[in-house]
Structure 1
Amino acid sequence: MPSPMEPFKAVDGSGLIVERSTPIAVHPEHETPGGVLFLTSIDQVTHIVVSTVYCFERSNENAVDVVKQALSKVLVHYYPLAGRLARSSEGKLVVDCQKKPGVPFVEAVIDCDLDSLGDMSYLHPDVLGKLVYKDLTTQNMPEAGPLLTAQVTKLKNGGLILGIALNHCMSDGISAIKFINSWAEIARGKPLSVIPCHDRTILKPRIPPQICGPYDDFVQLSDVSNLTVLYEKEQMVHRSFHFDSEKLAAVKKMATAGGQAKRSITSFVALAALVWRTRSMALKMKPHQQTMLTIPVDFRSKLSPPVPNGFFGNAVVFPCCLCNTGELIDEPIASTAERIAEAIERVNEDYARSRIDYLDTYRFQEFALGTLLISSWTKLDYGSSDFGWGEPRQFGTGSLPAKSCLFMRGWKNKKDVVVVLSLPFSAMKTFQELLQG
């Protein structure tokens, strides 16, 4: 296949000067329901804060006030975001909607324009830290922290960046984008096109639980390749690799070689197969090391009746592919792609309900280092996040756990895919060489 472009190395933020206002708390404009919001067993797993940025080439003089006022209005509909996490009598996370500390909102100015920041699909932690506000007073007590923060940063030449920090237990990517787009609709003076649904009891576990296979998804991997030592010893390096339409076509051709595929192989599946195999080789996993690929799959349409369109929460499960590293590396990429496509196809109502029951019964166990989680953000509808001065030119993040990989949309051509992952220094060097070989 053609070699990918040189990997993008995130520009650090050492030269960027940002001036921030003191955070103010934005509250819902009107009285909102109190009480306690139930969080599902899937929500309990995703208790991490995800930072995203929406980058606009231009804005209005009163843009900050427009965004702030629209936030107050949209929080009437998305009122749980103004609350805080608490523990139920069973020790599970819930949202306390009675107390409403509000959403911390920060206004900022930075001494650069959008062009000088370059590719914003994945940001260096120093840059992200200047564009997204986080409440440092609760950094060591995440449950006490805000569920959402917002920072509006004005740039030279009229550009603007909206930085968001959102606790993942409140929503998956699909719900998060619907919230942002609702916020943008209100900023433009439009009524909400989607009314949020906060009833998460539709995803309650069954009593008694009904847990079914495939049980490979529940396997805990042993570290027979000393991966833990490698990750502790070496510096972690983040890189992103750009695949244009020509390179994606070449990857897909490899993944469908032989023409005897039992099912349709998408570009996502083909690229996931390549990345999983290459990462396993780069980490020098032993042939008998078990390795697992897991992929978030939206199950909203799989339930009967389907999950409501406005559902605000997490409605994804994580089907897995499990095999020995030697088997993965020796088999054609087309066979690996078949494994992945088959795993995705397994997701139906029984599968989703079983996973909800499993997580409620056994709780989530952290993925081993032999696991790779690939999440695709390429289809998230951030193009509709128009606050009144056009759609974002770029959308990005900087939140990436060590065992995760993101597929993001190209910032110059939306049909391109940017693959973002982190690896120990030596493994990243090998990963890059293998991709370019």
Structure 2
Amino acid sequence: MEASNTAATHVLTIERSVPVAVLPEQDTPGGSIFLSSIDNAALSIISTVYAFNRSDANVAGVIKHALSKVLVYYYPLAGRLAKDSRGKLIVDCEKKLGVPFVEALADCHIENLGDIQIMDSDLLGKLVYRDPTENMLEDGPLLTAQVTRFKCGGFTLGMAIHHSVVDGTAAINFMNSWAEVARGKPLSLIPFHDRTILKSRVPPQIRGPYDDFVHVSDVSDITASYEREQIVFKSFHFDAEKLETIKKMATTGGQVMSSCSNFVALAALVWRARSMALKMKPHQLSKLLIAFDFRSKLGTSLPEEYFGNAILVPGCLCTAGELIDEPISFATGKIKKTIERVTEDYVRSSIDYMDTYYFDPYSVSSLLITSWLRLDYSCIDFGWGGPRQLGTGNPPPNLCFFMREGSENKKGIVVSLGLPLSAMSTFQELVRI
């Protein structure tokens, strides 16, 4: 049920080249690009690794040359962040410093990496180049790329990309475009860069209140357990049979409902089990936030090719006592209602709120679930076939990943999260099906 790839860290030794800045092959627009309130709230850097079974000796050269070509269309990635007169982040497209590109050689076969869906920081650090200037706002690159070749002919493409410029869908669209260029194909999708389409309204029209933005105090002293104990990261695999069992649990009891999705049922199980494992006091507010791609909710007003963040985090809020004492269908019902209230009006109102007020919705008693279940990376083919796997690093303490069980099996779900050692022992018992 659990998965780990710690052993791969000790197996892998790499030789890395000096980073080379890759610039767009042709002149690109200057000026600056507006970033929405959602972009401004996404200040993290996301590392991902795509693993491919085969290549040839020129794989790094092909991918590097294709990057210079695709940056003509995705030119903001060659720029840098800056601040406007309001102190809001923008992309400075005059500062064309390019994308740091690294070539590397590994001393083992790619199979030695094992399961790379969730990697420890040491292994991730070997496969993804992190620029030393990344935390310097106006100098840090928005994207880095590293191609690592293995003895067997396989290779990995590791990327570090600033979340303020992409969400998961935008990142996959970029990767598909990059791969198409590498194969000599025309782009099937031309990126749309006008982010003012998600600009807040004047005057703002906030129709809250929203549980999403409620600050949750730590009355259960959960912070102390995170500081005092070792944080353990584990992945739990739920196949189709286990998911069916969880759905039955999630739709019976106090709140009768005919059906729910695998995602909703599993989210309810994880939210409840985590709150119990952390020994939240009955009056402790427990919040679940769900990363939600709202592209479909805005219809034609938000183009499919929109290159930016189209993610909000609608929230469920209740006391830990309610969550634990009620049957799991209580949590299921709250999650379903939260997802159903994401409409265009909700999206616009949330953006207005984010642009008007300072908010910090995250705390150790909150859990953010981000799902990669719908990110289809199987067609990202640079000329040697699609990737065998997509991986990332351990999630932050209050974040949980939902991922598919590999590219071929789309029915199973992998859940990854980190908890204090004592809480993880309890959690794994509570989710054992």
TM-score by length of structure 2 reads 0.97
Distance 2:333 2:361 in 1: 26
Separation in 1 of the partners of 2:359 and 2:405?
33
Gap change, CA 1:140 and 1:97, over 3 Å in 2: closer
Q: Tell me the CA shift for residue 47 of structure 1.
A: 1.1
Moved more, 393-402 or 324-333: 393-402
1:229 aligns with 2:224: yes
Deviations 1:258-301, CA, capped at 9 Å, x for gaps: 69745741000000000000111111111110000010111112
Q: Distance in 2 between matches of 1:187 and 1:172?
A: 23
Greater mean deviation of Cα atoms: 44-53 or 328-337:
328-337
Cα distance in 2 for residues equivalent to 1:410 and 1:170: 27
Structure 2 matches for 1:132-171, cutoff 5 A?
132-136=128-132, 138-171=133-166
Q: State the alpha-carbon separation in 2 of the partners of residues 211 and 399 from structure 1.
A: 35
| Aligned-partner Cα distance in 2 for 1:9–1:158 | 21
Q: Which residue of 1 aligns with 2:94?
A: 98
- How many Å separate the matches in 1 of 2:302 and 2:155? 35
- Work out the percentage of aligned pairs sharing the same amino acid: 61
Q: 1:187 aligns with which of 182, 187, 191?
A: 182
1:131 maps onto 2:132 in alignment: no
The one of 286, 290, 306 equivalent to 2:281 is 286
2:401 is matched by which residue type in structure 1?
A: L
| SS of residue paired to 1:329 | helix
CA distance in 1, matches of 2:427, 2:318: 20
Q: Which one-letter code corresponds to 1:16 in the other structure?
A: L
Decide which of 94, 99, 112 is 2:108's aligned counterpart. 112
Structure 2 counterparts to residues 46-65 of structure 1, below 5 A: 46-65=42-61
Distance 2:135 2:310 in 1: 28
User: Residue 196 of structure 1 corresponds to which residue in structure 2?
Assistant: 191
Deviation track 1:332-366 (CA, whole Å, cap 9, x = no partner) reads 11221111011001001110001101110113315
Please say if 1:422 is aligned against 2:418.
yes
Structure 2 counterparts to residues 207-246 of structure 1, below 5 A:
207-246=202-241
Q: CA 1:213 to 1:41, structure 2 compared with 1: closer, same or farther past 3 Å? A: same
Q: Is residue 436 from structure 1 mapped to residue 432 from structure 2 by the alignment? A: yes
Local SS of the residue matching 1:186: helix
Structure 2 CA distance, aligned partners of 1:110 and 1:330?
A: 52
What do the CA deviations read for 1:236-257 (whole angstroms, capped 9, x no partner)? 2111111111111111111122
Deviation, structure 1 residue 212: 1.1
Q: Which moved more, 1:408-417 or 1:218-227?
A: 408-417
In structure 2, the residue matched to 1:265 is: 260
How far apart are residue 302 of structure 1 and its match? 1.4
Structure 1 residue 12: deviation in Å? 5.7
For the pair 1:332 / 2:321, whether they are aligned, the reply is: no
With normalisation by structure 1, the TM-score equals 0.96
SS at match of 2:381: coil
Asked if the contact 1:45–1:364 (Cα under 8 Å) also holds between the matched residues in 2, the reply is no
State whether structure 2 residue 64 is matched by structure 1 residue 89: no
1:303 to 287, 298, 302: 298
Matches of 1:364 and 1:11, distance apart in 2:
40
Deviates more, 1:229-238 or 1:95-104: 229-238
| Partner residue, 1:14 | 10
Distance 1:143 1:280 in 2: 40
Distance 1:11-1:44 versus aligned 2 partners, 3 A rule: farther
Superposition deviation, residue 9 in structure 1: 5.5
1:121 is matched with 117
Give the 3-state SS of the residue equivalent to 2:9 in structure 1.
Answer: coil
Rounded Cα–Cα distance in structure 1 between residues aligned with 2:336 and 2:370:
14
> What is the rounded CA distance, in whole Å, between the counterparts of 1:342 and 1:21 in structure 2?
51
Displacement, 1:140?
Answer: 4.3
Map of 1:410 onto structure 2: 405
How many residue pairs get aligned? The number is 432
- Alignment counterpart, residue 63 of structure 2, candidates 63, 67, 77: 67
The amino acid across from 1:390 in the alignment is G
User: Is the 8 Å Cα contact of residues 70 and 181 (structure 2) preserved in structure 1?
Assistant: yes
* Farther off after superposition, 301-310 or 36-45: 301-310
Using the alignment, how far apart are the partners of 1:253 and 1:7 within structure 2? 26
**Contact 1:12–1:126 under 8 Å retained in 2:** no
Alignment RMSD, CA only? 1.6
Which structure 1 segments of 5+ residues have no match? Answer: none
Shift of 1:61: 2.2
Q: Would you say 1:256 and 2:251 are equivalent positions? A: yes
> How far has the Cα of 1:90 moved from its partner?
0.9
1:399, 1:361 → 2: CA distance? 32
